[in-house]
Structure 1
Amino acid sequence: MKIKLALMGAAAALALAPVAHAEGRGADGTVNIIYWQAPSILNPYLSGGTKDVESSSIVLEPLAGYDQDGKLFPRLAADIPTVANGGISKDLKSITWHLKKGLKWSDGSPVTAADVVFTGKYCMDPQGGCAQLSHFEGVKSIEEVDPLTVKITFKEPQPVPYGPFVSSESPILQKKQFENCMGAKAPTCTEANFNPIGTGPFEVTEFKPNDVIQFKANPNYRVPDEPHFAKVNFKGGGSAMASARAVLQTGEYDYGWNLQLSPKVLEDMTKDGKGKLMIGFGTLVERLQLNLTDPSSSLPADERSTAKRPNPFLSDKRVREALSMALDRNVLTQIGYGKMGKPTCNWIPAPANFADANNTSCLKQNIAGAKKLLDEAGWKMGSDGYRHKDGKKLVLSYQTSTNAVRQQFQAIIKQWWKEIGVDTELKNINASVFFGGDPGSPDTFQKFYADVEMYANNFNGADPGAYVAQYTCDKAPRPATQWQGENITRFCSKKYDELVAELGKTANYEKRGEIVKKLNAILTVGQPDSTYTMLPLVWRGRVSAASNTLGGDIMNTWDSEMWNIQSWYRKK
Structure 2
Amino acid sequence: MSAFSRTPQAFRPAVMCTVLAVAAMVSMPCGRRSAGVPPSNDLLIIGYDREPDTLNRFSTHILEDIQSCISEGLTTTDEQMQVVPLLAAEVPTLQNGGVQIRADGGMDVTWKLRPGVTWHDGTPLTSADVKFTVDAINGPNYNPESTDGFDRIRSVDTPDPLTAIVHYREVYAPFDIQFIRGVLPKHVLDGRDIDHAQDYNRNPLGTGPYRLAEWRAGEYILLERVPHYWRGDAYPRIRRLLFKFIANTNTRINQLANGEVHLVALVPWDKYGDIAGLRSILVHKTPGNAYEHVTLNERQFPPFADVRVRRALLHALDRERYTKTILDGLAPVAHGPIQPASWA
Q: Deviations over 1:289-325 (max 9, x none)?
A: 89x9xxxxxxxxxxxxxxxxxxxxx972359999xx7
Aligned partner of 1:341: which letter? A
For the pair 1:218 / 2:226, whether they are aligned, the reply is yes
Q: Which residue of 2 aligns with 1:462?
A: 343
Aligned-partner SS, 1:145 = strand
Aligned partner of 1:273: which letter? R
Q: Which residue of 1 aligns with 2:282?
A: 276
Shift of the 95–235 alpha-carbon distance from structure 1 to 2, 3 Å rule, reads same
Q: Which residue of 2 aligns with 1:469?
A: none
1:268 to partner: Cα distance: 4.4
Q: Which residue of 2 aligns with 1:83?
A: 94
Matches within 5 A, 1:64-463: 64-89=75-100, 91=102, 93-158=107-172, 160-166=174-180, 170-181=181-192, 185-209=193-217, 211-222=219-230, 223-247=232-256, 249-262=257-270, 265-287=271-293, 316-317=300-301, 333-334=323-324, 336-344=326-334, 346=336, 348-351=337-340, 462-463=343-344
1:107 to partner: Cα distance: 1.6
Alpha-carbon distance in structure 2 between the residues aligned to 1:127 and 1:145: 26
Q: Which residue of 2 aligns with 1:37?
A: 50
CA contact (8 A) 1:119 1:172 kept: yes
- Mean Cα displacement is larger for which, 29-38 or 332-341? 332-341
Shift of the 327–208 alpha-carbon distance from structure 1 to 2, 3 Å rule, reads farther
Aligned partner of 2:300: which letter? D
1:46 to partner: Cα distance: 1.5
Shift of the 107–152 alpha-carbon distance from structure 1 to 2, 3 Å rule, reads same
Alpha-carbon distance in structure 1 between the residues aligned to 2:299 and 2:209: 48
Q: Which residue of 1 aligns with 2:72?
A: 61
Alpha-carbon distance in structure 1 between the residues aligned to 2:322 and 2:218: 30
Shift of the 84–227 alpha-carbon distance from structure 1 to 2, 3 Å rule, reads same
Alpha-carbon distance in structure 1 between the residues aligned to 2:304 and 2:47: 37
1:126 to partner: Cα distance: 4.2
Q: Which residue of 2 aligns with 1:393?
A: none
CA contact (8 A) 1:104 1:220 kept: no
Aligned partner of 2:292: which letter? E
Aligned-partner SS, 1:207 = strand
Shift of the 29–111 alpha-carbon distance from structure 1 to 2, 3 Å rule, reads same
Equivalent residue pairs, number? 293
Alpha-carbon distance in structure 2 between the residues aligned to 1:327 and 1:47: 37
Alpha-carbon distance in structure 1 between the residues aligned to 2:318 and 2:249: 25
Q: CA RMSD in A?
A: 3.1
Identity %: 24
Alpha-carbon distance in structure 2 between the residues aligned to 1:278 and 1:271: 13
Shift of the 329–38 alpha-carbon distance from structure 1 to 2, 3 Å rule, reads farther
1:65 to partner: Cα distance: 0.6
CA contact (8 A) 1:61 1:75 kept: yes
Shift of the 342–48 alpha-carbon distance from structure 1 to 2, 3 Å rule, reads farther
Shift of the 212–155 alpha-carbon distance from structure 1 to 2, 3 Å rule, reads same
Alpha-carbon distance in structure 2 between the residues aligned to 1:139 and 1:163: 14
Shift of the 338–81 alpha-carbon distance from structure 1 to 2, 3 Å rule, reads same
CA contact (8 A) 1:42 1:194 kept: yes
Q: Deviations over 1:220-248 (max 9, x none)?
A: 4112211112211111232233323333x
1:30 to partner: Cα distance: 0.9
Aligned-partner SS, 1:97 = strand
Alpha-carbon distance in structure 2 between the residues aligned to 1:343 and 1:179: 48
Q: Which residue of 2 aligns with 1:554?
A: none
Alpha-carbon distance in structure 2 between the residues aligned to 1:94 and 1:30: 44
Which blocks of at least 5 consecutive residues in structure 2 are unaligned? 1-39
CA contact (8 A) 2:57 2:71 kept: no
Aligned-partner SS, 1:151 = strand
CA contact (8 A) 2:92 2:109 kept: yes
Alpha-carbon distance in structure 2 between the residues aligned to 1:164 and 1:238: 31
CA contact (8 A) 1:143 1:150 kept: yes
**Which TM-score applies when normalising by structure 2?**
0.74
Matches within 5 A, 1:548-563: none
1:58 to partner: Cα distance: 0.7
Aligned-partner SS, 1:341 = coil
Shift of the 37–155 alpha-carbon distance from structure 1 to 2, 3 Å rule, reads same
Alpha-carbon distance in structure 2 between the residues aligned to 1:330 and 1:40: 38
Instruction: Return the structure number with greater relative CO, CA threshold 8 A, min gap 6.
Output: 2
Shift of the 317–194 alpha-carbon distance from structure 1 to 2, 3 Å rule, reads farther
Shift of the 320–121 alpha-carbon distance from structure 1 to 2, 3 Å rule, reads farther
Shift of the 261–85 alpha-carbon distance from structure 1 to 2, 3 Å rule, reads closer
Alpha-carbon distance in structure 2 between the residues aligned to 1:68 and 1:172: 23
Shift of the 261–157 alpha-carbon distance from structure 1 to 2, 3 Å rule, reads closer
CA contact (8 A) 2:48 2:264 kept: yes
Which is helix-richer, 1 or 2?
1
CA contact (8 A) 2:91 2:176 kept: no
Aligned-partner SS, 1:57 = helix
Alpha-carbon distance in structure 1 between the residues aligned to 2:233 and 2:324: 47
Aligned-partner SS, 2:289 = strand
CA contact (8 A) 1:117 1:142 kept: yes
Aligned partner of 2:266: which letter? N
CA contact (8 A) 1:108 1:220 kept: no
Q: Deviations over 1:327-385 (max 9, x none)?
A: 98667645653222245575x14149xxxxxxxxxxxxxxxxxxxxxxxxxxxxxxxxx
**Which TM-score applies when normalising by structure 1?**
0.46
